[in-house]
Structure 1
Amino acid sequence: MHHTPLAHERLLTELDFARLNHLRGAHMPAELAHALDSLDLVPSREVPPDVVTMYSQVIVEDVTTGRRQKLTLCYPADAEPHNGFISVLSPVGAGLIGQRLGTTARWRTPNGDEVAAVIVSLLFQPEASGDYTT
């Protein structure tokens, strides 16, 4: 039976899931480990173009301040937070992975504050451009 995801569900490509599973352990935040256990998996070629996957570039808008940021979701080795490359293992990255354009991602800052940001634009998604292996 083929599963058709509902609009509010978070999705993860099978390839991203496999790679993220290799990162499980002491450094993975509990939120991300929980998300990995609850996200729906889809083949890379079937992921909708409005889903945040690894190496997607998004613009998020903080719901409290209205501040917009351009972020690229990446693996820890490629993270450069000052350049907008956010590790999937960070609270922000764990909050973004699998979310859809227009949804509100939530995460906690290191000091415990909750942040909510709307994904207002999905500038780039590897799968949408035909890249199923990055």
Structure 2
Amino acid sequence: MNPATPSRPALLLSRVDVERIEDLLERPEYRSLDTAALRGELERAELVEPGAVPGDVITMNSTARVKVIDGNNEHEHELTLVYPRDADGGSDKVSILAPVGSALLGLRAGDAIDWPMPGGHNARLHVLSIRYQPEAAGELHR
């Protein structure tokens, strides 16, 4: 496991989420995507069983309030981290395969991360709060 750095906080992930994401990454329709950053996050994360995930960690299907600082632009969004099949194009759902989705997985409320975005620039994402997390709601194998 790689140590956390100021731009990459420590990650805690559900073993079930990681297994499902790894299966997803092996599907032919996603093999051509650049998933190196997501794969790197999966490799450096600490894995725990779903019931051991603290309630302030973003897991799959969690809804979080996030501030995105992209250059001189700063916006707050409430985002739900979803699998590609559930990303319906709305601004409130972000796929785990999108740069913002990959960045959010495993972060805790209060964490911030610098993340590469399309076009070759970085954005800083701050997790302000988590409104819903499946594990905290008792949905351990959704």
Same fold (TM over 0.5): yes
Give the counterpart letter for 2:15 in structure 1: E
Give the counterpart letter for 1:125 in structure 2: Q
Mapped to 2, the partners of 1:28 and 1:57 lie a distance apart of 25
**What's the secondary structure of 1:89's corresponding residue?**
coil
Q: Which residue of 1 is the match for residue 60 of structure 2? A: 54
Scaled by the length of structure 1, the TM-score of the pair is 0.88
Q: Which residue of 2 is the match for residue 76 of structure 1? A: 84
Structure 1 residue 28, shift from structure 2 partner: 5.5
Mapped to 2, the partners of 1:28 and 1:77 lie a distance apart of 18
Structure 1 alignment gaps of length 5 or more: 1-5
Aligned length: 128
**What's the secondary structure of 1:50's corresponding residue?**
coil
Q: How do 1:99-110 residues align onto structure 2 when only pairs under 5 Å count? A: 99-110=107-118
Structure 1 residue 62, shift from structure 2 partner: 2.1
Q: Which residue of 2 is the match for residue 21 of structure 1? A: 22
Counting aligned pairs with the same residue, the percent is 34
Structure 2 alignment gaps of length 5 or more: none
Structure 1 residue 108, shift from structure 2 partner: 2.2
Structure 1 residue 117, shift from structure 2 partner: 1.6
Runs of 4+ in 1 over 3 A off after TM superposition: 63-66
Structure 1 residue 121, shift from structure 2 partner: 1.2
When the two chains are superposed, the root-mean-square deviation of aligned CA atoms in Å is 1.6
